[in-house]
Amino acid sequence: MYALDLSAYVGKFDLVVSQRVVINFMTWEEQKQVLQNIWSSLRPGGRYIMIENTFEGFEAMNEVRRAVGLPNVPLHDWHNYFLHYDQLMEFLEGKFTVEKTHTFNLYYLLTRVFVNMFAKFEGYGRKAVKDDIIDAVDDAARRLYELMGERVIISVDKGESFGPIQGFVLRRAG
């Protein structure tokens, strides 16, 4: 389904789920069109579960990395255009009610900052070079997150997320 043209699906769905779809459109104008199309495809009161990356969460993570002497995780902006939290919230106003947000703060703190303070991880994907402990820490961080992630609050200056990925449960208004 091509997200810039969902005209065949107006008012057809009670639920739409997207995971890292909106950020693959490389301009805010296209992203707004995708969000508008998703809104249009929902019946009144329908829900949209959106799992996307925010620039503010990504920068909050890198800010802490810099503070402890780690380099930034590079932003791969050649294929993703992260959402700006305030801009997104402003656009959603009147279209959706934000019922719940979900962050992965504890997981990102452990896997992108803490373990990198004493273990090596360079590159990304299959070409990544990493110390063996990285995989063990990733598994442990996932288990800790599942156990208590919702109870760990990490305050950030902008937005809500420490780490790029954030989930939103939205209900269509109107």
Q: What is the mean pLDDT of each run of 10 residues along the chain (174 residues)?
A: 85 97 96 97 98 96 96 89 97 97 91 92 84 90 88 83 94 93
CA–CA distance, 96 with 78 (Å, rounded to integer): 29
Q: Is 1 inside any structural domain? A: no
Q: Which domain holds residue 168?
A: 7-172
- The conformation of residue 83, written as its DSSP 8-state character, comes to B
Q: Give the contacts of 19 (CB within 8 A, at least 6 positions apart).
A: 51, 52
Q: Is 2 inside any structural domain? A: no
C-beta of residue 24 within 8 angstroms of C-beta of residue 52 = no
The CATH number for 64's domain is: 3.40.50
pTM of the model: 0.89
Q: What is the pLDDT of residues 93-109, one digit of tens each?
A: 999 999 999 999 999 99
Q: Check residue 22 and give its pLDDT.
A: 97
Say how many domains are in the chain.
1
